[in-house]
Structure 1
Amino acid sequence: MNNQDLDVQDFINRHPFSPYQWLVFVLCFAVVLLDGFDTAAIGFIAPSLLKEWGIDKPALAPVLSAALFGLAAGAIVAGPLADRLGRRIVLLASVLAFGAACFASAFAGGLEQLVILRFLTGIGLGAAMPNAVTLISEFCPDARRSFVTNAMFCGFPLGAACGGFLAAWMIPQWGWRSVLELGGAVPLALAVIMVFTLPESVRHLVARNASPARIGAILRRIHPAAASAGRFVMAGEGATAARGGVAVVFSRPYLAGTLMLWLAYFMGLVIFYALINWMPVLFKEAGLPAQSATLIAALFPLGGVGAILFGWLMDRYDANRVIAIGFALTAVAVFMIGQVVGNLGLLTATVFLAGTLMNTAQSSLPALAAMYYPTRGRATGVAWMLGVGRFGGIAGSFLVAELTRRQLPFSDVFAVVAAAAVVSTSALVVKFLIDQRRPRGGDPALRAQASLH
C-alpha cells in the first residue's frame, strides 16, 4: 500500500453504486419500514381500544401521543451520540429497543401501562430514524444522495400503510394485540441480521480518525481501487472538524436554516399524526363502516412513495423549492378531504392524493437536512429536526382531540389541519432565500454544501 491520500466522498462519487451499498440501503429501508409500522399501529388499533376498554375518545390522546414524546427524546439524545460513537451502534441499539418495547405493549393490561410502553417504544423509534437517514446518505454519491435517501425514507409511509392493511385483516381474527406482537417480533429479528451485516459510515470513521485499515476494509467492498490508498480524508470539512454535532448545528452559518427545517418538519407532522391517528375515528363518526374507515385512512400514508420522484427532482433543482411546492399542494388536498366525505369514491381518491403530496414532501425533509449539514453535525442535524418535529406530532394528536371536544364540524377539522401545510411552505421559502444569501466563500464547509444545491 502506498501513501496516496483518498478523499472518501470523491471515491464514492467516482464508482458505481455497489451491491454493498445496496445492502446498506436494504437494511436502512427495513428499519424505516418497521419504524413506520410501529409508529402508526396505535392509530389503527384505536377503535378497538375504545371498544374493549370502554374509554372516551379524548382519553386516547395520551396513548396516541406517548410514543411521540419518546420519539422526540430518542431523536434528540441519539443524534449527538451517533456523531460521537457512530451511526451503527446507535442504530442497532435503537432497533432492539423499539422491537422489545412494542412486543411488550401487546401485553399491556390497561391504559397507563400502554402509555408507558408506547413511550419506551418511541425512544427506540426516535433514535432509529435519523441514524438510518444519516447512514445511507453517507454511503451515497452526491449526485444521487436525495434520490437514494428519499427512496429509503419511503419505507416509513409504506410501513404505516402496511400497518393499516394488516390491522384491518388481523384485528377481526386475532385482536388488536396481534398487531403489536408482529410490530415487535420483526424488528428483533432484523437486529440480529444487522449485527452481522451493517457497516459503520466511512465518512464518520474518517471524521473520528479511525484506523486506515478499518476504513479501507469498508471501501474495498464498494470498489477494490481503495486498496491503493494509504490515508483517507474528506475535502471541504476542515472548518467543522474540531466541532461537535450540536456546535455545528447551532453555528452561525447553519442556525437560520436549522430553525426553518424544524418549523417545516414540525408542521408536517402536525398534519401526519392528526390525520393518521384520527381519520379512522372521524370517518367512522361521519357514517363509514369501521373497516372501510380503516382501509381508506390507510391510503393516506401509502402515498409517500412519491418521495422517489421528489428525490430525483431535488438532485436536479433547488430542493427547498421542490418540497415547498409539495406542501402548498398538500394544503389544498387536505382541505378537500373535508369537503368530499359524502362521496366514498371521491373521498378515497382525495385521501390518497393528499397522502401522496403530504408524505412526499415530508419524507423529503430528512434528505434535505442530510444535504444541509457537514459530517460532524449531520446525525445531530437530522436527528434534532426529527426530534423537535415530533412535538408537531404530539400537537397534531391533541389538536384533533380538542377540535372534536369542541364539536367542530368535520370539514372545519380538515381546514385547520390544512393550515399547517401553509406554514411548512412558508418556512421552506424562507430557507431558500437564506441559502441564496449565504456566503459562498471563506468557510470550506459552506462551499462543499453549496455544491450540493
Structure 2
Amino acid sequence: MNPPPIDVQQFLDENRFSPYQWLILFLCFLVVAVDGLDTAAMGFIAPSLVTEWDVSKAALAPVMSAALFGLAIGALTAGPLADKHGRKVVIVASVLVFGVASALSAGAWSLWSLTAFRFITGLGLGAAMPNTVTLMTEYAPRRKRALLSTLMFCGFALGSASTGFVASSVIPMFGWRSLLGLGGLLPVTLAAVLMLTLPESVRFLTWRAASSAEIARILRKIAPLPAEETLTFHLSGEAGGHSRSSIRSLFSEGNAAGTWFLWITFFMGLIVVYLLTSWLPTLMKESGVPMPQAAVVTGMFMFGSMFGTILMGWLIDRFSTYVVVSISYGCAAVSIISIGLNPGDVSLLRVLVFTTGFAMGATTTMPIVAAQFYQIHCRATGVSWMLGMGRFGGILGASMGGILMTLGLSFRAIFLGLAIPAILAACAMGLMGVYYYFRKGNEPLSEVFEGGDKVRKALGLQSKVPY
C-alpha cells in the first residue's frame, strides 16, 4: 500500500527550522546585502561626480534614476520568468548581471556611459530582490514566516548602511570608482556560490509536479522522510498547473484591490526611501554639515531600517499586518517632519534619521506582505510587479531631490513635503485592511491577515484556507 501524499507546506510547518533552511536564509541575505550596497552607492559618489566632472546636481538626475528604471523593468520581467522557470535560475542570473554591470560602471568615462551601465545594473538588481523574497517565503514555516523573511531582508538595510561607512573610507583614499568596483566584485563571487549551493523552491517544484525524488532529496535536508520509493507530494489549497497567466491573476481571484493598494503603498514608500538615500548626504552638505558626518548620518537611516524591519516582522507574525504597517508609516511622517524642523543639529539628526529609518522599515516588509498575499502560481509575479511599479516612486524620489535643490527649496521645505507620501502610504495600507476585512461576501485572502484572527472572529468572519 502506497503511503499518503505528503503536504509540503505542512511538512515545513511541523518541523523545526533546520540548518539547511538557515543556509538558504543566509544566501538570500547575502544577495539583498550586495543589492543594498550597490543601490546606495550612487548617493555617496554624487558629490565626487559633481566635483570631478564639473556638472550640476540637476545633471546627475539621469544617473541617479537610471538604475531605478532598470530596477522597474527587471522586476516586471523577472517575476513572470520565475513563475515559469523557477526562482533559482533567475536569482543567479540577476546577481551575475548586476555584478558585471557595476564593475563596468567603475570604468565609466562620462555621465552617459555611467547612466547606461547603471541601467543595466538596475536590470539585475530588479530581478534579484523579488525572487529572494519569494524563495525565502516558500521555505519558511507559517508561524515564523514574516520574522524569518524580514531577517533575510535586513541584508538590504545592512548593505545600504555599510555603504556609508565604506564610502567614507575608500572614496577619500581611492576615489569614487573604488566603491563601484567593490560593488561589482562581491556579487560576481556570490553568483558562483549561489549556483553551487542555492536550491530551487521546494514548493515551486511541488506545484510544477517535479519528480518526487528531487523534492524528497531537498526535504530530507530539512527533516527525515519515510524511506519508501513511492512517496508523493502536494500542496494543500494549490492545484498544480501551467496555463494560468500569472500577470492576469494579479487582477482576478480576489487580488485586484490588494494589488492596487500594495502598489500605491510601495510607490509612496520608495519616494521617501530613495530621496533620503540618494540625496541626504548632499542635502546635509548644503546645509553646512561636513561630508564625513553627513555620510554617517545617512548610514543611520539604513541601520534604523534594519532594526525596524526585524521588529515589524515579529509584529506581523502576531498582529494584523495592515495595522502594523499603517502605524509605522504614520510614525515615519512625524519623524520626517522633525528632521525638517531641526536642520543644523547633527547630534539630533542622527537620532531623528535613525528613527525615520526605523519607521520606514515598513517599506522593507512590503515584499514580504506581497509574498504572503498572492497565491503560489502568481507569487513571484505579484512581488516583482509591486516592486517594479514601486520603483517608479523610487525614480521620482531619486530625481526630485536634485531638482528641488536646484529650485532653491530649503532643507525644511523639502522634508515637510516629504512627509506627504509617508502619510499616503499609511492611508493606502489602512484602506487595504479595511477593504479585505469588510467587503461583503468575501474573507481575507491569505495569511497576510492571519494576525487578525481575534478581530475576525469578533466580526463573525472566517479565514480562508491559506495558500
Same fold (TM over 0.5): yes
Residues 347-358 of structure 1 aligned to structure 2 (within 5 Å): 347-358=349-360
For 2:146 and 2:171, the matched residues in 1 are separated by 37
Query: What corresponds to 1:126 in structure 2?
Result: 126
Query: What corresponds to 1:141 in structure 2?
Result: 141
SS of structure 1 residue aligned to 2:232: strand
Give yes or no for contact 1:220–1:227 (8 Å, CA) kept in 2: no
Say if 2:196 is the partner of 1:196.
yes
For 1:126 and 1:380, the matched residues in 2 are separated by 12
Following superposition, the deviation at residue 402 of structure 1 comes to 2.4
Following superposition, the deviation at residue 445 of structure 1 comes to 11
Residues 97-136 of structure 1 aligned to structure 2 (within 5 Å): 97-136=97-136
Following superposition, the deviation at residue 444 of structure 1 comes to 9.9
Query: What corresponds to 2:6 in structure 1?
Result: 6
Check 1:50–1:431 CA distance in 2 against 1; reply closer, same or farther (3 A cut).
Answer: same
Give yes or no for contact 1:134–1:379 (8 Å, CA) kept in 2: yes
Residues 273-292 of structure 1 aligned to structure 2 (within 5 Å): 273-292=274-293
Say if 2:73 is the partner of 1:73.
yes
Query: What corresponds to 2:454 in structure 1?
Result: none
Residues 438-449 of structure 1 aligned to structure 2 (within 5 Å): 438=439, 439-440=441-442
Residues 264-275 of structure 1 aligned to structure 2 (within 5 Å): 264-275=265-276
Query: What corresponds to 2:38 in structure 1?
Result: 38
Following superposition, the deviation at residue 224 of structure 1 comes to 1.3
Query: What corresponds to 1:328 in structure 2?
Result: 330
Fraction of identical pairs, as percent:
46
SS of structure 2 residue aligned to 1:225: coil
Check 1:443–1:36 CA distance in 2 against 1; reply closer, same or farther (3 A cut).
Answer: closer
SS of structure 2 residue aligned to 1:185: helix
Following superposition, the deviation at residue 450 of structure 1 comes to 4.2
**Once the two structures are superposed, what CA deviation does each residue of 1:178-224 show, in whole Å capped at 9, x if it has no partner?**
10111100111111111110000011111111111111111111111
SS of structure 2 residue aligned to 1:264: helix
Query: What corresponds to 1:208 in structure 2?
Result: 208
Give yes or no for contact 2:237–2:466 (8 Å, CA) kept in 1: no
Query: What corresponds to 2:456 in structure 1?
Result: none
Check 1:443–1:298 CA distance in 2 against 1; reply closer, same or farther (3 A cut).
Answer: closer
Give yes or no for contact 2:71–2:391 (8 Å, CA) kept in 1: yes
For 1:392 and 1:330, the matched residues in 2 are separated by 17
For 1:30 and 1:342, the matched residues in 2 are separated by 36
Check 1:18–1:412 CA distance in 2 against 1; reply closer, same or farther (3 A cut).
Answer: same
**Once the two structures are superposed, what CA deviation does each residue of 1:262-284 show, in whole Å capped at 9, x if it has no partner?**
00000000001111111111100
SS of structure 1 residue aligned to 2:318: coil
Query: What corresponds to 2:316 in structure 1?
Result: 314
Query: What corresponds to 1:54 in structure 2?
Result: 54
Give the residue type in structure 1 aligned to 2:6. L
Give the residue type in structure 1 aligned to 2:93. A
5+ long unaligned stretches in structure 1: none
For 2:162 and 2:279, the matched residues in 1 are separated by 17
Give yes or no for contact 1:374–1:445 (8 Å, CA) kept in 2: no
Give yes or no for contact 1:249–1:377 (8 Å, CA) kept in 2: yes
Following superposition, the deviation at residue 409 of structure 1 comes to 1.6
Give yes or no for contact 1:440–1:450 (8 Å, CA) kept in 2: no
Q: Which runs of 4+ in 1 moved over 6 A?
A: 441-449
For 1:115 and 1:442, the matched residues in 2 are separated by 43
Following superposition, the deviation at residue 400 of structure 1 comes to 1.9
Say if 2:185 is the partner of 1:185.
yes
Following superposition, the deviation at residue 54 of structure 1 comes to 0.5
Query: What corresponds to 1:369 in structure 2?
Result: 370
Check 1:226–1:437 CA distance in 2 against 1; reply closer, same or farther (3 A cut).
Answer: farther
Give yes or no for contact 2:8–2:203 (8 Å, CA) kept in 1: yes
Query: What corresponds to 1:89 in structure 2?
Result: 89
Give yes or no for contact 1:142–1:452 (8 Å, CA) kept in 2: no
Query: What corresponds to 1:398 in structure 2?
Result: 399
Give the residue type in structure 1 aligned to 2:11. F
Give yes or no for contact 2:331–2:359 (8 Å, CA) kept in 1: yes
For 2:227 and 2:32, the matched residues in 1 are separated by 33
- Alignment RMSD (CA, Å): 2.1
Query: What corresponds to 1:304 in structure 2?
Result: 305
Give yes or no for contact 1:240–1:248 (8 Å, CA) kept in 2: no
Check 1:290–1:139 CA distance in 2 against 1; reply closer, same or farther (3 A cut).
Answer: same
Following superposition, the deviation at residue 238 of structure 1 comes to 3.4
Following superposition, the deviation at residue 226 of structure 1 comes to 5.7
Give yes or no for contact 1:371–1:452 (8 Å, CA) kept in 2: no
For 2:259 and 2:241, the matched residues in 1 are separated by 16
For 2:446 and 2:113, the matched residues in 1 are separated by 51
Following superposition, the deviation at residue 401 of structure 1 comes to 2.3
Give the residue type in structure 1 aligned to 2:5. D
Give yes or no for contact 2:446–2:466 (8 Å, CA) kept in 1: no
For 1:112 and 1:158, the matched residues in 2 are separated by 30
Following superposition, the deviation at residue 344 of structure 1 comes to 1.6
For 1:447 and 1:30, the matched residues in 2 are separated by 29
Residues 16-27 of structure 1 aligned to structure 2 (within 5 Å): 16-27=16-27
SS of structure 1 residue aligned to 2:225: helix
Give yes or no for contact 2:96–2:187 (8 Å, CA) kept in 1: yes
Give the residue type in structure 1 aligned to 2:317. D
Give yes or no for contact 2:369–2:448 (8 Å, CA) kept in 1: no
Following superposition, the deviation at residue 340 of structure 1 comes to 1.0
Residues 406-421 of structure 1 aligned to structure 2 (within 5 Å): 406-421=407-422
**Once the two structures are superposed, what CA deviation does each residue of 1:221-267 show, in whole Å capped at 9, x if it has no partner?**
11112645621111112398752321221214001001000000000
Give yes or no for contact 1:263–1:427 (8 Å, CA) kept in 2: yes
5+ long unaligned stretches in structure 2: 451-462
Following superposition, the deviation at residue 451 of structure 1 comes to 5.6
Give yes or no for contact 2:437–2:443 (8 Å, CA) kept in 1: no
| TM-score (ref. length: structure 1) | 0.96
For 2:443 and 2:50, the matched residues in 1 are separated by 59
Query: What corresponds to 2:457 in structure 1?
Result: none
Following superposition, the deviation at residue 296 of structure 1 comes to 1.1
For 1:335 and 1:289, the matched residues in 2 are separated by 22
